[in-house]
């Protein structure tokens, strides 16, 4: 895969390219899967890749729940905005920001972990979980597997926690549907913003926003290929317009506190 597809620009090239970069450039979300199951050996490899990601102070503040049971996947699909591909995927991984393990260690050692109550530690939990999961995504692609992140798992975090029997101080951050891509799915590599819009040298330059108009045209053309309407700017502004556009996630701070991540 080349930079041309990633940027929707036939003139885009990378002077440096190898197999890993080609794999990353070819990434796309997969929402339609073939029937082949993801094997235990593949799952083990994905988790090994995830555990190879960086982690702040080696805290390793995450866990992952592998869900294969059709009934449980169906229930999780319902909690995550009724997205059918969650139930259809042979494997659904729920990635958990997990501060419960450290708290159990503290209880056994009769030690205090008051820093776990602060926003910084919650951020570390979410950041490290995301780093681990992205490693798993790249590993899955290297095995011929497709995947898609499911942020809607945060729509109803208390119910997801109950479904997965998460302990206090652990919260599902997002899901990841994994399986063999169905070749009949109508999808392709979605163009991203041009680098000139996101890469700032030495200091931030808001004038880089001038590249957004051109990208809106590129993405509108991509969407039209698949019977979709709209451009990037419209999508961003609609998604961020207010609490009504957040599918219940505007209450996340309150729910996190109830689940044991108070984030002072």
CATH code (residue 97): 3.40.109.10
Report yes or no on 203 lying in a domain: no
Q: What is the pLDDT of residue 63?
A: 98
Report yes or no on 85 lying in a domain: yes
Report yes or no on 69 lying in a domain: yes
Spell out a b/e string for 149-179, using b for 16 or more CB atoms within 10 Å of the CB, else e: bbebbbbbbbebbebbebbebbbbbbbbbbb
Report yes or no on 231 lying in a domain: no
Report yes or no on 96 lying in a domain: yes
Report yes or no on 12 lying in a domain: no
Report yes or no on 199 lying in a domain: no
Report yes or no on 118 lying in a domain: yes
Which pLDDT tens digit goes with each residue over 193-232? Answer: 999 999 999 999 999 999 999 999 999 999 999 999 999 9
> How many independent structural domains does the chain possess?
1
Half-sphere exposure of 92 (CA within 13 A, CB side): 28
Residue 18 scores a pLDDT above 90: yes
Q: What is the pLDDT of residue 1?
A: 61
Q: What percent of the chain has pLDDT over 90?
A: 97
Domain extent at residue 121 = 29-187+249-259
What angle (nearest 5°) sits at the alpha carbon of residue 155, between those of residues 100 and 53?
Answer: 50
Mean of pLDDT over the chain: 96
Instruction: Tell me the mean pLDDT in the region 117-127.
Output: 96
pTM of the model: 0.96
Helix or strand run (H / E) with residue 173: strand 170-179
Does residue 166 contact residue 96 with C-beta atoms inside 8 Å?
A: yes
């Amino acid at each position: 895969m080349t930079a041309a597809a990633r940027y929707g620009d036939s003139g885009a090239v990378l002077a440096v390219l190898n197999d890993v970069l080609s794999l990353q450039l070819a990434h796309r979300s997969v929402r339609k899967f073939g029937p082949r199951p993801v094997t235990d050996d593949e799952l083990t490899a994905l988790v090994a890749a995830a555990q190879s990601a960086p982690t702040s102070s080696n805290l390793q503040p995450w866990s992952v729940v592998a869900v294969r049971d059709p009934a449980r996947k169906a229930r999780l699909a319902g909690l995550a905005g009724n997205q059918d591909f969650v139930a259809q995927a042979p494997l659904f991984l729920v990635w958990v920001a997990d501060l419960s393990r450290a708290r159990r260690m503290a209880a056994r050692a009769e030690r205090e972990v008051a820093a776990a109550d602060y926003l910084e530690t919650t951020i570390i939990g979410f950041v490290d979980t995301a780093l681990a999961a992205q490693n798993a995504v790249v590993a899955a692609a290297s095995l011929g597997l497709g995947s898609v992140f499911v942020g809607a798992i945060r729509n109803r975090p208390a119910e997801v926690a109950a479904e997965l029997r998460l302990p206090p101080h652990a919260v599902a951050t997002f899901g990841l549907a994994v399986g063999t891509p169905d070749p009949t799915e109508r999808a392709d590599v979605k163009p991203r913003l041009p680098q000139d819009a996101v890469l700032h040298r030495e200091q931030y330059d808001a004038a880089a926003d001038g590249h957004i108009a051109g990208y809106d045209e590129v993405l509108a053309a991509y969407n039209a290929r698949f019977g979709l309407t709209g451009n990037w700017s419209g999508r961003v502004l609609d998604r961020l317009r207010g609490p009504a556009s957040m599918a219940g996630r505007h209450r996340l701070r309150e729910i996190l506190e109830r689940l044991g991540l108070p984030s002072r």
